[in-house]
Amino acid sequence: GQNIDQPTEMTATEGAIVQINCTYQTSGFNGLFWYQQHAGEAPTFLSYNVLDGLEEKGRFSSFLSRSKGYSYLLLKELQMKDSASYLCAVREPYNQGGKLIFGQGTELSVKP
């Protein structure tokens, strides 16, 4: 089966650092994606990891450990505009179709 777990909600303070975890148990793996979705808007792509390690992109970094079925998204120097839902998604291998399987999302609230 396919199972992707993320915390439902998190709260952090402006200027701080927050780490959003994602664990997955899937029958195959072909990459892990993070998306940001503001209320009432479409998801926007943040990061993509297919190999173990840390990918850094400005204030956002994403880490992957395939052996542990684990990823996290790290947001530094939090801003109020970072308040949003963060979606973790695992891609199936191409020979299984290659579709994205999403977690339920983590609702992040940034407080002043």
Binding site for other proteins (CB under 8 A): 31, 33, 41-45, 48, 87, 89, 91, 94, 97-105
| CB 79 to other proteins: min, Å | 22
58 vs 97 by CB, closer to other proteins = 97
Closest Cα to residue 70, out of 104, 20, 106? Answer: 20
Cα 9-7-10 angle, rounded to 5 deg: 30
What's the DSSP call for residue 92? P
| CB 98 to other proteins: min, Å | 6
